[in-house]
Chains A and B, each alone.
Chain A
Amino acid sequence: MKYLYSEKNNFIYKLNTSTVVFFIFTLFLLSLIFTHPIYLGTLFIITTLMIITSGNWLEWKGYLRLSIPIVIMIILVNSIFVKTGSNVIYQGPTLPFIGRLRITLEALAYGGAMGLRLIIIISLFCLYTYTVQPDKFMKLFSRFSSKIIFIVILSIRLFPLLIEDYKRIIEVQKTRGVKINKGKWIDKIKNALPIISVLLLSSLERSFEQAESMYARGYGSGKRSIYQKDIKRRRDYIITISTIIGLASGLCIFTAGQGSYSYYPKLSNPSLLDYRLYSILVITMILPAILNWGWKKWPILKSKI
């Protein structure tokens, strides 16, 4: 039992956790506020670039395989149920519950854009899962809520331990002559009951022992001390500032109404209105990928940031 996260040797993994989380959160927010196909497409390319840069291409493929059926379903449902839209592609027979089948280009395009948005969001969570260390992520919030974070980290630690315990108890039962996997299903349940009970009992017993040990060490008696501190380097400041600029330009695009796109009743011309804001957004958001490339190419850059 281990995390899905594993450390890889590239620029993304050398960033501070808060920087990566902020970057991913910005992309997440932007993907939710934009409906314009060009902006969604751009966000998709940025996300793809980040996943490839961080070296998680193989892991991402699994996520894509899972999300493609959902995307197809979204497009299908949308094009069947929505009958507004002026460009009719196909007009079919009358079906029960749905009514007359009428597929329009607009509905198809809207379904496609929403499917793309879903893929972006799923990819972002894939990026998060594989590039953010859970313990460090939890530690970001320990300032606000130390008890809850402590409980989370404690139970993460207990996961592999519980599985070990479970195996150990099964072995003990086998040694005592209990046939775990034999007999009717009712016998199996009867045999499983003591195993689960013992697992519960022993882990609760251990939790009390641990609490006593914590008490003896003075948990909660004063301000918490910090064992390990994550330092922020120059690269973190660069990426954070550029992400803030990217977020600001994205919000500007959104408030100016350029991020949204009207699919119904007729597809409008999908053109970009503001090239400056768009290019600022693109450049700031692909900066981590660019720096990773430079990081590998020039050791001098690596030593400076």
Chain B
Amino acid sequence: MITKLLEINWVLVSFVIIVIIILLMFRKYEKKKSDTKEIALIGTMAAIAGVSRIPFAVVMSVQPTTFIVMITGYVFGSQTGFIVGALSALVSNFFLGQGPWTPWQMLCWGMCGLAAGKLGKNKKELNIILFAGISAFAGYFFGWTMNIWHWLGFVYPLTLKTFLATYAASFPFDTLHAVGNIAFSIIFGKSFFLILLRFKKRLVKSS
């Protein structure tokens, strides 16, 4: 009976857990003291990351958003990375259509930003090869996490067989996402890093 109940409500349970995680992260940021420049900067980066989704909306899996979120996290730290990632998903979905997938995307991109922030801690320079490698992994991670939602939401029954089938089906798309991330990192990585670093210095100096 209990297992049956859980099976029925997995979509709801996962939805609630993810929303709570996101809200806790937001709350942590809310408590922190931050100046207006940082707020405006986060808003701008979230908008840029969100806008970059729109021309690529047709090619589902190639998403510059992941790269932009990650480079922001790399320069400005984990917390900023998470907020930019989560909000870019939320904001862009106001234009592309909200759905039960929104919290999942918020979490995925938030985690990408958070991981990049951990990678970039105490680093003065951008190691393109390392960054591209991590961003490629992030592409796969994004797909794998979104697969859980696909599997819970669209695939019945929830068995190991269908789970593996879902992952196998998404593999080409995840690979495209990863390759796209590597390409964006190599092409835009250096210039984005320098620009963001310059604004970070200004941010630190002014506050």
Known contacts A32-B9, A81-B159, A193-B188: does B199 contact A159 (CB below 8 Å)?
A: no
Cβ contacts A50-93/B at 8 Å (1 or 0 each): 00000000000000000000100110011001100000000000
- A residues within 8 A CB of B195? 197, 200-201, 204
Judge if A110 is at the interface, Cβ distance under 8 Å. Answer: yes
Q: If A163-B51, A207-B44, A260-B8 touch, does A151 touch B156 (CB 8 Å cutoff)?
A: no
A111 to chain B, nearest CB (A): 6
User: Mostly helix, strand, loop or mixed at chain A's interface?
Assistant: helix
Chain B residue contacts of A110, Cβ below 8 A: 156
Q: In the bound complex, do residue B91 and residue A121 qualify as a contact, i.e. CB atoms below 8 Å apart?
A: no
Closest to B162 in A: A81
A-B contact count (CB 8 A): 152
Q: Is A134 an interface residue (CB 8 A)?
A: yes
Interface residue stretch chosen among B95-103, B108-116, B130-138, B140-148? B95-103
In chain A between 190 and 208, which residues have their CB closer than 8 angstroms to a CB of chain B?
Answer: 193, 196-197, 199-201, 203-204, 206-208
Does B98 contact A129, Cβ atoms closer than 8 Å? yes
Residues 150-188 of A at the B interface (beta carbon under 8 Å): 150-152, 154-156, 158-159, 162-163
Q: Is A305 an interface residue (CB 8 A)?
A: no
B62 to nearest A CB, angstroms?
14
Q: Which residues of A contact B35 (CB under 8 A)?
A: 211, 215
A77 & B41 in contact (Cβ 8 Å cutoff): no
A118 touches B36 (CB 8 A): no
Known: A151-B42, A156-B91, A193-B191. A203 touches B48 (CB 8 A): yes
Residues from chain B with a CB closer than 8 A to the CB of A128 are: 98
Expressed in whole angstroms, the minimum distance between the Cβ of B76 and any Cβ of chain A is 12
